[in-house]
C-alpha cells in the first residue's frame, strides 16, 4: 500500500477517535446533566455556562470532522483544549486532566497532518 494512502487512512482513524471522544465528552454538557453541572461547578464554572461550553465544543468538533473546515476546527479545538488546561491548572493542577487535554490537541493535529498532504508540506518532518 502506498505511503500517502496509509497516512490518509491512519489520519482519518485518529480524527474519528478524537471526534468520537469529543462528542461523548460534550454530550453531558449539552444535556445539562447533573453530573456535568456538578463537575463544572467544582472547576469554578457556573451552571449557566455549561451549555455554551458544550455548544462551542460541538461546533469546533464538527468543523474539525469535515475536510473543508478541518484546519479551522483544529485551531478551535486547540483553543478549547488550552482553555481546559488553564482551568485545571488554576483550580487543582491535576496532571492527568492537563495531560488528557494536551494529548487530545496533539492527536487532533496529528490526525489532520496525516490525512492532509498540504499540511504535511507546510509542516514537514525533516530527517538528518
Query: Could you state, in order of their start, the residue ranges of all structural domains in the chain?
Result: 3-121
59-65 mean pLDDT: 98
pLDDT at position 127: 64
Smallest Cα–Cα separation from 110: which of 101, 120, 100?
120
Question: CA angle, 105 as apex, 99 and 106 as ends, to 5°?
Answer: 85
* pLDDT, tens digit (0-9, with 9 covering 90-100), for 1-40: 698 899 999 999 999 999 999 999 999 999 999 999 999 9
Query: Chain-wide mean pLDDT for the chain?
Result: 93
Question: Using a CB cutoff of 8 Å and minimum separation of 24, what contacts does 85-89 make?
Answer: 87/43, 87/44, 87/45, 88/43
CA distances from 45 to 29, 37, 69, 89, 120 (A): 12, 8, 29, 14, 38
Within the chain, residue ranges assigned H as helices are: 3-30, 34-42, 47-65, 70-91, 95-115, 117-122
Q: What is the pTM of this model?
A: 0.90
Cα dihedral angle (122, 111, 109, 104), rounded to 10 degrees? Answer: -170
The mean pLDDT of 75-98, rounded to a whole number, is: 90
Amino acid at each position: 500500500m502506498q505511503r500517502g494512502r496509509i497516512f490518509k487512512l491512519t489520519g482519518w482513524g485518529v480524527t474519528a477517535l478524537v471526534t468520537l471522544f469529543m462528542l461523548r465528552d460534550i454530550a453531558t454538557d449539552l444535556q445539562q446533566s447533573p453530573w456535568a453541572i456538578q463537575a463544572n461547578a467544582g472547576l469554578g464554572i457556573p451552571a449557566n455556562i455549561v451549555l455554551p461550553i458544550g455548544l462551542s465544543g460541538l461546533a469546533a468538533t464538527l468543523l474539525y470532522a469535515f475536510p473543508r473546515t478541518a484546519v479551522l476546527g483544529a485551531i478551535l479545538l486547540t483553543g478549547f483544549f488550552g482553555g481546559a488546561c488553564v482551568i485545571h491548572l488554576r483550580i487543582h493542577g491535576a496532571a492527568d486532566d492537563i495531560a488528557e487535554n494536551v494529548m487530545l490537541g496533539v492527536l487532533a493535529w496529528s490526525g489532520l497532518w496525516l490525512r492532509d498532504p498540504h499540511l504535511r508540506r507546510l509542516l514537514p518532518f525533516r530527517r538528518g
